[in-house]
């Protein structure tokens, strides 16, 4: 189906609706991919679960022309832009996505089932599900995620500059993490949490004035004195010996896992990140995968990508999907013309 008007998707009664592309994920990558497709007069629907990775953040940073815009506002604008070109946005979760029978010309087809029973049929899929950040199991840490607990010096660094910052080590990646955050504050403490730290690294830390604490971490303490409630900031890091090291900000490298819920039927290849830092979808140029007709863009395949990079990857994938569809449309038209010619010859 082509054109600027797409079918409204609300219930399972639209099970026979077929789209040029179904985009799974309504973040920056998914919306920008959908925008490219809709502007190319492709019928496209975006399935948005409404759980973006950066939801706890107060603003998007490092995105030229949109510096500091709240994440929810950026996505609202993106959805309106996609709708303005005839694309559809559907709130829901994918429970199953599987290849369906291709056409006689070998043009792939897919069936995507939503939690409410709706079945969407698509010629191509763009997976832009993002990832989940898994925090270390430290009592009191998770409640401050996205505020006093941060992970990216480029996303949050300016906002926490000159604060007393603590690095909760999770492995070798935390060493580089510490050096990046040292650029932002003179008061940095590195909590090893049982991870290895060789003498050369300790010397480098000492040269930069980074204090190293080897005593095990017991918890992150809050200014309101409790684990629950709102409004309290971080007071410090309590150690196993009872001492509390005052800190206002905690930086931690999360374990990043691509969101794969409902996608097992596609059999998309995944691979581990270095240092045990998570798992992501394995892709080729422009988000291509080993599954014909499926692309992946954004944090689901590039966990380190900020919003701008994710949006750019989505746009590139959308352009490649449109080009692939253009070739398939031409192949189908040529096959139909040959059939007509043969029939005309017989007559």
DSSP secondary structure of 211-238: EEE-SPEEEEEETTSSSSSSS--EEEEE
Question: What is the spatial distance between Cα 2 and Cα 260, in angstroms, rounded to a whole number?
Answer: 29
Domains of the chain: 12-132+255-343 (3.50.50.60), 137-251 (3.50.50.60)
Q: Is the pTM of this model over 0.95?
A: no
38: phi then psi, degrees, rounded to nearest 5? -65, -40
- Residues of the chain with pLDDT below 70 are 1-16, 104, 225-231, 345-347
What three-state secondary structure class fits 251? Answer: strand
pLDDT tens-digit readout, 142-185: 999 988 999 999 988 999 999 999 999 999 999 999 999 999 99
The CB density around residue 63, as the number of other CB atoms within 10 Å, is: 17
Closest CA to 188 of 167, 159, 214: 167
Closest CA to 285 of 319, 333, 311, 328: 319
Q: Is the separation of the CB atoms in 328 and 127 below 8 Å?
A: no
pLDDT tens-digit readout, 31-76: 999 999 999 999 999 999 988 887 788 888 888 899 989 999 999 9
The CB density around residue 95, as the number of other CB atoms within 10 Å, is: 15
Residue 104 is predicted with a pLDDT of 66
249: phi then psi, degrees, rounded to nearest 5? -135, 140
Looking at residue 273, what DSSP letter applies? P
């Amino acid at each position: 189906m082509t054109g600027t008007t797409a079918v409204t998707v609300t219930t399972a009664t639209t099970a026979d609706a077929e789209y040029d592309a179904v985009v799974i994920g309504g973040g920056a990558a998914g919306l920008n991919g959908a925008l490219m497709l809709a502007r190319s007069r492709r019928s496209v629907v975006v399935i948005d679960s409404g759980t973006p990775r950066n939801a706890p953040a107060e603003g998007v940073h490092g995105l030229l022309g949109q510096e500091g815009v709240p994440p929810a506002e950026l996505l609202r604008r993106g959805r309106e832009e996609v709708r303005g070109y005839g694309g559809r946005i559907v709130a829901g979760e994918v429970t199953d996505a599987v290849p369906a029978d291709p056409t006689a010309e070998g043009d792939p087809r897919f069936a995507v089932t939503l939690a409410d029973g709706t079945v969407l049929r698509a010629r191509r899929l763009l997976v832009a599900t993002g990832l989940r950040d898994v925090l270390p199991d430290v009592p009191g840490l998770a409640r401050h995620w996205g505020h006093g607990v941060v992970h990216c010096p480029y996303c949050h660094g300016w906002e926490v500059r000159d604060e007393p910052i603590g690095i909760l080590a999770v492995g070798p990646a935390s060493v580089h993490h510490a050096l990046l955050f040292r650029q932002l504050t003179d008061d940095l403490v590195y909590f090893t949490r049982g991870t290895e730290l060789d003498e050369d690294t300790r010397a480098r830390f000492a040269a930069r004035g980074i204090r190293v604490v080897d005593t095990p971490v017991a918890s992150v303490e809050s200014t309101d004195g409790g684990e629950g409630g709102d409004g309290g900031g971080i007071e410090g890091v309590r150690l196993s010996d009872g001492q509390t090291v005052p800190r206002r900000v905690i930086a931690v490298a999360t374990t990043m896992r691509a969101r794969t819920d409902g996608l097992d039927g596609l059999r998309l290849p995944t691979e581990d990140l270095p240092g045990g830092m998570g798992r992501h979808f394995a892709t080729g140029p422009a988000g291509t995968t080993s599954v014909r007709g499926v692309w992946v863009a954004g944090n689901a395949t590039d966990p380190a990508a900020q919003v701008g990079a994710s949006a750019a990857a989505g746009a590139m994938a959308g352009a490649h999907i449109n080009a692939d569809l253009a070739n398939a449309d031409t192949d189908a038209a040529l096959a139909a013309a040959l059939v007509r010619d043969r029939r005309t010859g017989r007559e």
